[in-house]
Amino acid sequence: MNRSVRSQPARQGDVSGFDGLVFRPRSDTPIWQQIYDYILSLIDSGWLQPGSQLPGEVHLAEKLGVTRITLRRALQQLQQEGHLTSRKGVGVFVRALPSALVVRDGSRFAESLRADGKSVTTRTTFLEAEFADAAAAEHLRLPPGAPVIRLRRVRAADGQPIHISTKVFPAALLPDFETVYSRRQSVTDVFIAHGIQKYRRLETRISGGFATPDEASLLALTPGTPVFRTSSINTDANGNRLEWGLGCWLLTSVDFVF
């Protein structure tokens, strides 16, 4: 019996590793939970590697000797916890859960991941000059319609995205934002280029919510998965508001430390 469910882009034939299971109906724990435990153990033990595809629900349900609905109950739980993702018309995939430490102002986020030996990548998905909407104006203490820069990025650890950030900057204070950022891909470098060596975290807010379809797609999650939402404001040494940031984090992957 070949149990390899790793390696390769994963084919539909890779149903091995799911054979010979016996689920006791009407025991103390429901069948779907037994399946949940089983699949989770396959992930934890490495039988199912991050990125690999599960067999189709119909095949798998048959293999496990249960209805598709019962199987889906288990898969759903695993998705809510971030262990699996499903893409309609494609399949169900294993999703790694790198655990990150976010210290205080979030600046050490990447460092704490790298300290764990993880490779951190940052992808800029949006960078444009705009005019401040009501929320941005309010948070940056600007008149509505003032020119701002809007930046969206996705951060990933070992290829698994775990953080979306949307930041808004007052264009008046950072006239060269776009040119410097496009060259360095670093906000800190933009600040330095404008003579801002130190900035201060004025406020951080953390709340909870559920991933919108957009967020879910960027984070490789199923919509409705619970997430952290953060909102923060940075000022320069004189108290001028430099940055308003919104963050969306995978709930089960982050630890905020203050």
- Choice from 32, 109, 228, 244 touching a copy of itself (CB under 8 A): 228
Residue 134 in the binding site for a copy of itself (CB under 8 A)? no
Size of the site for DNA (CB under 7 A): 29
Report the nearest approach of a copy of itself to the CB of residue 101 (Å): 9
- Of residues 54, 50, 67, 66, the one with CA closest to residue 16: 54
- Choice from 6, 16, 17, 33 touching DNA (CB under 7 A): 33
What is the DSSP code string of 78-136? HHHTTSEEEETTTEEEE-----EEEETTTTTHHHHHHHTT--EEEEEEEEEEEE--HHH
Residue 159 in the binding site for a copy of itself (CB under 8 A)? no
Residue 203 in the binding site for a copy of itself (CB under 8 A)? yes
Rounded CA gap, 203 and 89, in Å?
43
- Choice from 32, 169, 244, 249 touching DNA (CB under 7 A): 32
No. of helices (H) and no. of strands (E), the chain = 8, 10
Residues 198-257 within binding reach of DNA (CB under 7 A): 222
Choices 81-89, 137-145, 191-199, 228-236; region in contact with DNA by CB under 7 A? 81-89
- Choice from 7, 45, 207, 238 touching a copy of itself (CB under 8 A): 207
- Choice from 1, 7, 22, 90 touching DNA (CB under 7 A): 90
Residues contacting residue 109 through CB under 8 Å, at least 6 positions apart: 100, 101, 102, 103, 155, 163
